[in-house]
């Protein structure tokens, strides 16, 4: 399992303008972006005791979370993802699923998962059965992504973070959502073995430290 460095910073609107300008000069736009950005919708899973939420807030060293995600309202390409954290490094595993499968998983209709062809779907099935994992919260936001080949660097600016409140109907095109408190803007920087100095300088801001902001946790404040 390959892990990557992942740093997050909550930044101001002025910071975002500065970093956007710098990254446009030194990096490249993600080819999947439309007009430099895309919309993300994710459905997160948690246990009845909110294990994923508590471990994130407590800064547990080794943790994982499951989510279903798609982009730009395109439900023809949906992925089940497992994000793992260990010693400050991150890993993501992914399995493509159909819209019908996503809908059934969200509704708790999971018998089909037992014999699914992808092991990640079977792993989620086992944990839904043994740990009580269930669909918990929808998180929407807009992302501006930049890439830089040396170091396999990815820099993203995330904003307009919204919650679907108590709904888990992630495929509903007219799902009501509300902005999370404070309208945060999140800078994320991910890389493999090293972070090139040109990117370190481009994303560098005085008096900013890597934080532990969680979009999922921010959206859970509305429970």
> What distance separates the 2 farthest-apart alpha carbons in the chain?
52
Mean pLDDT, rounded, of the chain: 92
Report how far apart, in Å, the C-alpha atoms of 128 and of each of 48, 103, 149, 166 are. 11, 15, 38, 19
pTM of the model: 0.92
pLDDT at position 195 is: 94
pLDDT at position 179 is: 93
Distance CA 181, CA 64 (A): 25
Q: Is 42 helix (H, G, I), strand (E, B) or coil?
A: strand
pLDDT at position 31 is: 84
In the chain, % of residues over pLDDT 90? 74
Q: What range does the domain containing 197 cover?
A: 4-220
Alpha-carbon dihedral 85, 166, 160, 92, rounded to 10 degrees: 20
pLDDT at position 38 is: 94
pLDDT at position 12 is: 92
173: tokens are: 């095109």
pLDDT digits (tens, 9 = 90+) for 36-55: 999 999 999 999 999 998 88
pLDDT digits (tens, 9 = 90+) for 142-189: 999 999 999 999 999 999 999 988 889 999 988 999 999 888 999 999
pLDDT at position 207 is: 65
Please indicate whether residue 81 or residue 57 has the higher confidence score (pLDDT): 81
Tally of domains in the chain:
1
CATH code of residue 15:
3.20.100.30
In the chain, % of residues over pLDDT 70? 96
* Concatenated DSSP letters of 78-144: EEEEEEEEETTEEEEEEEEE-HHHHHHHHHT--GGGGG-SSHHHHHHHHHHHHS--EEEEEEEEEEE
Q: Is 56 helix (H, G, I), strand (E, B) or coil?
A: helix
pLDDT digits (tens, 9 = 90+) for 84-125: 988 878 999 999 999 999 999 999 999 999 999 999 999 999
Residue 210 has pLDDT above 80, yes or no: no
């Amino acid at each position: 399992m390959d892990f990557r460095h992942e740093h997050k910073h909550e930044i101001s609107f002025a910071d975002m303008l500065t970093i956007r300008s710098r990254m446009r000069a030194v990096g490249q736009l993600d080819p999947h972006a439309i007009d430099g950005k895309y919309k993300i919708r994710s459905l997160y899973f948690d246990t009845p005791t909110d294990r994923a939420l508590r471990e994130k807030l407590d800064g547990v060293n080794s943790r994982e979370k499951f989510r279903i995600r798609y982009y730009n309202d395109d439900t023809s390409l949906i992925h089940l993802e497992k994000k793992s954290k260990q010693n400050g490094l991150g890993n993501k595993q992914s399995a493509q699923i159909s819209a019908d499968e996503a809908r059934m998983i969200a509704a708790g209709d999971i018998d089909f998962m037992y014999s699914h062809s992808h092991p990640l779907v079977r792993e989620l099935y086992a944990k839904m059965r043994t740990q009580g994992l269930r669909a918990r919260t929808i998180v929407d936001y807009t992302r501006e992504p930049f890439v830089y080949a040396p170091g396999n660097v990815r820099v993203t600016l995330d904003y307009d973070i919204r919650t679907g409140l108590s709904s888990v109907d992630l495929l509903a095109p007219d799902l009501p959502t509300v902005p999370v408190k404070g309208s945060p803007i999140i800078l994320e920087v991910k890389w493999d073995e090293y972070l090139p100095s040109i990117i370190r300088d481009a994303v560098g801001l005085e008096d900013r430290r890597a934080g532990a902001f969680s979009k999922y946790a921010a959206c859970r404040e509305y429970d």
